[in-house]
Structure 1
């Protein structure tokens, strides 16, 4: 075995003392839908519902073996890394301090605390991750703590690479993978999996699968870095897909991934991703967080010839979904599918105006929001209306009727600035 394979095998042996390998499941529904053989590597079924537990354990295991006297470990995270870190600190009975932004939802704080009690302390500092991270680094200097990074560290990468070892060990006899689809945030998982796959399959005389890397379309740190040939810091980033929204891919990670082509990166539109989350929940009963659904969503975006009749493994990286976000996820999905729109209409200030408008609606149209915004003139007023329907072409029919009726309107569905102010 190569040096990296041996290192990963050693980490995996340690991890097996803590939790069983996550399952590699053949998914009939996705296979039928895409005319392929689709397997899901269910990292959403780990003890903390995320693959992040692997990297946190790998880091702490190696440190303890080298320096058993290290008593204090520190991390900055408001997500899956914090939960994996807390789980590891509790297992090894080591003091852990987690720095989170003050804005972190209480549900995440409580869940992280439950994994680490009584060995982990959570400190809320600042309004952003950067502020919490800065406080964590300063605390390490003052108290002699050791920072456990979320992705950009060789020890963490080795931990994430155990995903690849399990995939190859779990594959049915005689099955060869054509493509592995990997989510990318900071790059630790993608770095570890690609490295292990190429080392092991190359040594065994086989061919490494093709790799596809999936990022949120509003946080494409790997794509932009591959295009530039160097690490790029994103200036404007949407954090909805919080498990993969990283402004700058890790240095160690990019050194590993820079040999790949930018064409291998798939961008998942946020609202489309929400549709995939709803689909997997309704059809398969699988709860995925936004980042956890990236690889399944990519099946819709990949060229047909890269999917049809192929054997594909999608890594579902996490399932820490707060169901309080479900209404927003459903709305985003409907907007992406063209089944929900918001309009601002100029309504005549006269009796019967509302009734006239209602008669313009079709039998499949439903008013989900109706609000007078402001009486803008003596004879007219502005109204915000949200409409849901069952087929996208119903909106073409409605707009045509509005035009024929001489009613002035503006579709603000995709106007983020206006929609954020009034919806």
Structure 2
């Protein structure tokens, strides 16, 4: 047994004084669908509804002589650090962007109580991070990285330790998301070659893929932060050192809109609340269906800190990805009966969810923003075909992100 494996086991054992192992559950619905044993490692059921408290626990346990811990986070890492500051009786100062949703700030304060102070600084995370590191240096505190720290990596590896204990035999495959790489580096280092891994990154934050292609961590020029638990512009140096031999074929990319459909399915069918990053391991099962047939597979559901105010957006994005909702701008003639003519083309399952005159583009025409949802993607083919035959002029803007930001 390697030193890393021994240390990860020791960390897992020490955690039992603070919180129980998270459940590993065989999911009948997913197992039947894919003809495999699909297990869910429910990190969304930890005391802070994510795995992040593991790394915070291990780092603080190993830095017991420190009296001040500092971190920068807009979400799960902040809550994990807050929880452990309270547990260890240590002072924590947690920097969060000014734009952090109030719910996340309140939960961080709730977990930390009197042990922590939350400072809201910076509109963007880079500004928040710089402020936190400057403060840490000035006060002589210990900075707790969310992922690029050997003690944090070791703590996250406790997920692997628990899986090994909880299963009758090792799974054939483990699927888990990658953000900064702390969890994936820890689990891969613990299991080594004893288990096959599939890693998943969000399409708008594929920092591991960029690093593997270039041979070193790269800063992504653009980042989509929708999958806020895994959207990281640059994978950690220490985590990449443990992941640099990952085969690109074992790294999948999950589109953000598709993840939304998985969130809804897990909520509606299984009653499981997952945040976007927490749903990523389940999201890729469809594209792996042939590969995993007959296998035992563990999907790590890494977090369940989902703000239900986001639910309308999640539903909208899921419908768009499935081809069940479209937005288009229609050039509508300004004459009696023109609108009625258009409405006659709608099928029985077509529902108008948005109708707004944008402007009168000419004396005899007006531009109308229309949103329609339906129950079968093919219904739009029939609708557009009839509109084409009737001579209507329209532009489908469903996937035009720039234009959609202004008019939808």
Q: Among residues 175, 179, 188, which one is paired with 2:182 in the alignment?
A: 188
Which residue in 1 is equivalent to 2:306? 321
Which residue in 2 is equivalent to 1:256? 242
* 1:216 aligned onto 2:202: yes
Tell whether the 8 Å contact from 2:164 to 2:170 is kept in structure 1 after alignment. Answer: no
Please report the TM-score for the alignment, with normalisation by the length of structure 2.
0.99
* 1:118 aligned onto 2:104: no
Stretch deviating more after TM superposition (7-16 or 123-132): 7-16
Q: Among residues 361, 364, 381, which one is paired with 1:376 in the alignment?
A: 361
State the shift of 1:301 in Å: 2.3
State the shift of 1:306 in Å: 1.7
Alignment of 1:4-403 (within 5 A): 4-64=4-64, 67=65, 70-172=66-168, 175-198=169-192, 208-302=194-288, 304-403=289-388
Q: Equivalents in 1 of 2:160, 2:2: separation in Å? A: 15
Deviations 1:202-241 (A, max 9, x none): xxxxx61211000001111011111111111100110000
Tell whether the 8 Å contact from 1:266 to 1:301 is kept in structure 2 after alignment. Answer: no
Q: Equivalents in 2 of 1:335, 1:312: separation in Å? A: 29
Q: Equivalents in 1 of 2:135, 2:154: separation in Å? A: 27
RMSD: 0.9
Which residue in 2 is equivalent to 1:204? none
Matched residue SS, 2:205? coil
Q: Equivalents in 1 of 2:369, 2:362: separation in Å? A: 16
Q: Equivalents in 1 of 2:137, 2:150: separation in Å? A: 22
Tell whether the 8 Å contact from 2:219 to 2:234 is kept in structure 1 after alignment. Answer: yes
Q: Equivalents in 2 of 1:141, 1:311: separation in Å? A: 47
Please report the TM-score for the alignment, with normalisation by the length of structure 1.
0.95
Segments of structure 1 that go 5 or more residues without pairing to the other structure are 199-206
Number of aligned residues: 408
Q: Equivalents in 1 of 2:98, 2:228: separation in Å? A: 16
Deviations 1:237-283 (A, max 9, x none): 10000000001100011011001111110000110000000000000
Matched residue SS, 1:402? helix
State the shift of 1:298 in Å: 1.2
Matched residue SS, 2:63? helix
State the shift of 1:2 in Å: 2.2
Q: Equivalents in 2 of 1:321, 1:222: separation in Å? A: 24
Matched residue SS, 1:237? coil
State the shift of 1:144 in Å: 1.5
Q: Equivalents in 1 of 2:77, 2:112: separation in Å? A: 12
Segments of structure 2 that go 5 or more residues without pairing to the other structure are none
Tell whether the 8 Å contact from 1:57 to 1:159 is kept in structure 2 after alignment. Answer: yes
Tell whether the 8 Å contact from 1:24 to 1:40 is kept in structure 2 after alignment. Answer: yes
Runs of 4+ aligned structure 1 residues displaced above 4 Å come to: none
Deviations 1:339-365 (A, max 9, x none): 000010000111211111110100010
